[in-house]
Amino acid sequence: MKALLMFKDQDFQIDADLLESLERPYARRQGRVNEPLIGQQDLISDLELETLWHAMALDDPVIYVAARSAMLTGLSNVEAIRYRQAVLTDVLAQPELVREFYKLAVQAIVEERKIFHNNFFMTHNSSSLLHTSITRAETFLPLLSRLRTLTEENANLFNSEGFTRFFETVRRELDEDYFDEMHQHLRYLRFNDGVLMSASLGRGGQGIEYVLRSPQPDNRRFRLRHSMLGKPTYSYTVAPRDEAGGEALGRLRDRGVNLAANALGQSTDHILNFFTSLRNELGFYLGSLNLHEQLSAKGEPECLPDPHPLGRNVWSAQALFDPCLSLRVRGRVQGNELRAENKPLLIITGANQGGKSTFLRSLGLAQIMMQAGMAAPAESFSATVTTGVFTHYKREEDATMTSGKFDEELARMSSLVPAMAPGAMLLCNESFAATNEREASEIADGFIHAMRDIDIKMVFVTHLYTLAHRYHQEHTDTTVFLRAERGTDGQRPFRLIPAAPLPTSYGKDLYQRTFADTEGETADGDGAGRRTDQPND
């Protein structure tokens, strides 16, 4: 029995080592948490994914790991994305019921761990395994019954294929016959009337072919009939102080119950795996629900994005905003529009601290959230799925670096390129800006052409006017140009508009706000033809 709420035909795998490290931070582990893939750690840092995951988790490590695993292993199949979106729609419509399902799964796992800890020092033989498995089964059965009841009472409230199949599986697998049979087997396996088994004699009088027999009434009548008819019966009583005899009898019992103990152990493992899978998959959807509730409370828009298959170049958004920024500030944040149909390159220029990096982050987050099956932070969002999202941001000076900043930039880019497959997305924020403008523009131009040759979609935030102007003159058919606005008073509305690049980043505005002593003095925007290396956000 499988939940199959994340995929149609396979289980959802989370980073189990990371979850264990969060749940048991002081436990000694022989292994280690899986290392991030190439570029993954930069992606997490540059897009501030930790902020998003913690908001989704609300201190629940399972939800944190489930959200992290789903967003770092995004889907590239449109049908699979829509499958999750339909399940998410049901979750948003029935939040309390979904939380009840999640609590049942968590309770099953917690109770099973208590059994494990209570029996940690028991001997590892068949009888001990049977005893533990019986206890586990008796713990799981009431929870399975509760799950069945919730399914019967509320299945009509859910419409998605994922939940419909899940409820059908529960009704089919957990019917009344299943519970009756399980209770009967558990009653027999308590062996209140002793262990009834048969065996054959092998070479040297050794017992072979041990078979555990069901203590049905027919067996008892058979033994009674043989006794009344005077048939010979044989018995052996172990003396109370015969330790060796008692141990031999215990080994004999273990051989008889071995198959039954293994079978019941596998059955309870299967139930535990089901509850674990259900917990992990619902954990992702509850994380999406938690994020939705926090953003909705602030009046931020959300939508189910419209994914398009590889091969098409769709890219549009309405009121796209950065959810991480929204989670950190009190009010709503400025949204932006994007229209970039059939244009794989987006160049963003404009005023310092005008919202360029924020927009870049919002675009990357929306893409990742869409491919995880989540709602997107926008009134509407449509995009072609990618084979991966990568980032290359300018880094601050690091005293520990053994080479210059420009060498470090090139080294990071060199490690990223082999990891990118055709159809990937690369978000660049002031890449190659650690050298002079002429050299940086030439390098960036060659790099952009190389990325276009291997079908990499790019968003390039830059202060390199030489580069941006060249592309505006020569490549307007394949490039969209956005510019961060600057108000007439030097203020920043944090809005990007379709516009040609300008030869200034208005660094004088920042200077005036920071250092001007004359009351009422404002920037006049003078500075055309000069480039500033001020950070853009």
What integer is the mean pLDDT of 234-257?
Answer: 67
Query: What pLDDT, on a 0 to 100 scale, did the predictor assign at position 241?
Result: 77
Tokens representing 22 are: 């969060």
Tokens 């033989």 identify what position?
125
Tokens 């992606």 identify what position?
43
Tokens 């529960």 identify what position?
170
Query: What pLDDT, on a 0 to 100 scale, did the predictor assign at position 28?
Result: 55
> Of the segments 32-36, 165-169, 516-520, which one has the largest average pLDDT value?
165-169
Tokens representing 375 are: 């709602």
Of 3-12, 130-139, 436-445, the one with minimum mean pLDDT is 130-139
CB atoms within 10 A of CB 38: 14
pLDDT over threshold 70, residue 255: no
Alpha-carbon span 468 to 392, nearest angstrom: 18
Q: Of 336, 298, 338, 300, whose CA–CA distance to 319 is shortest?
A: 336
Alpha-carbon span 168 to 88, nearest angstrom: 18
H or E, element range at 358: helix 356-372
In this structure, the dihedral spanned by the alpha carbons of residues 312, 52, 304 and 299, taken in order and rounded to 10 degrees, is -130
Alpha-carbon span 195 to 188, nearest angstrom: 9
| Beta-strand pair 457-461/345-350 | parallel
Instruction: Find the helix packing angle between 61-72 and 16-23, rounded to 10°.
Output: 150
Alpha-carbon span 386 to 389, nearest angstrom: 7
Residues 143-187 pLDDT 10s: 999 999 999 999 999 999 999 999 999 999 998 888 888 887 777
pLDDT over threshold 60, residue 192: yes
In this structure, the dihedral spanned by the alpha carbons of residues 525, 479, 476 and 503, taken in order and rounded to 10 degrees, is 20
Q: Of 427, 356, 421, 417, whose CA–CA distance to 391 is shortest?
A: 427
Assess if CATH 1.10.3720.10 describes domain 306-515: no
Query: What pLDDT, on a 0 to 100 scale, did the predictor assign at position 321?
Result: 95
CB pairs under 8 A, 24+ apart, for 93-98? 93/157, 94/154, 94/157, 94/158, 95/289, 97/150, 97/154, 97/157, 98/282, 98/285, 98/286, 98/289
Query: What pLDDT, on a 0 to 100 scale, did the predictor assign at position 407?
Result: 84
3-state DSSP call for residue 383?
strand
CB atoms within 10 A of CB 78: 16
Q: What is the CA radius of gyration of the chain?
A: 32
pLDDT over 90 percentage in the chain: 49
pTM of the model: 0.84
Query: What pLDDT, on a 0 to 100 scale, did the predictor assign at position 436?
Result: 85
Backbone φ and ψ for 95, nearest 5 degrees, come out as -65, -40
Higher pLDDT among residues 258 and 171, named by residue: 171
Tokens 């995951």 identify what position?
53
Maximum separation of any 2 CA atoms in the chain, in Å: 120
Backbone φ and ψ for 303, nearest 5 degrees, come out as -150, 160
CB-side exposure of 368: number of CA atoms within 13 Å?
Answer: 28
pLDDT over threshold 90, residue 395: no
Residues 55-113 pLDDT 10s: 999 999 999 999 999 999 999 999 999 999 999 999 999 999 999 999 999 999 999 88
Query: What pLDDT, on a 0 to 100 scale, did the predictor assign at position 148?
Result: 94
Backbone φ and ψ for 315, nearest 5 degrees, come out as -160, 100
Alpha-carbon span 530 to 393, nearest angstrom: 22
DSSP code per residue over 293-353: HHHHHTT---B--EEE-TT---EEEEEE--HHHHHHSSS----EEEE-TT--EEEEEESTT
- Given a contact cutoff of 8 angstroms between Cβ atoms, the answer to whether 362 and 399 are in contact is no
> Of the segments 358-367, 468-477, 509-518, which one has the largest average pLDDT value?
358-367
CB atoms within 10 A of CB 169: 16
Tell which phi-psi region holds residue 342, choosing left (phi > 0), alpha (psi between -120 and 50) or beta: left
pLDDT over 70 percentage in the chain: 76
Residues 220-232 pLDDT 10s: 555 545 555 555 6
Higher pLDDT among residues 124 and 24, named by residue: 24
Higher pLDDT among residues 310 and 513, named by residue: 310
Query: What residue spans define the domains of the chain?
Result: 50-297, 306-515
pLDDT over threshold 90, residue 350: no
pLDDT over threshold 50, residue 533: no
Q: How far apart are the first and last CA of the chain?
A: 50
Alpha-carbon span 527 to 240, nearest angstrom: 102
Of 207-216, 457-466, 496-505, 528-537, the one with minimum mean pLDDT is 528-537
Query: What pLDDT, on a 0 to 100 scale, did the predictor assign at position 425?
Result: 95
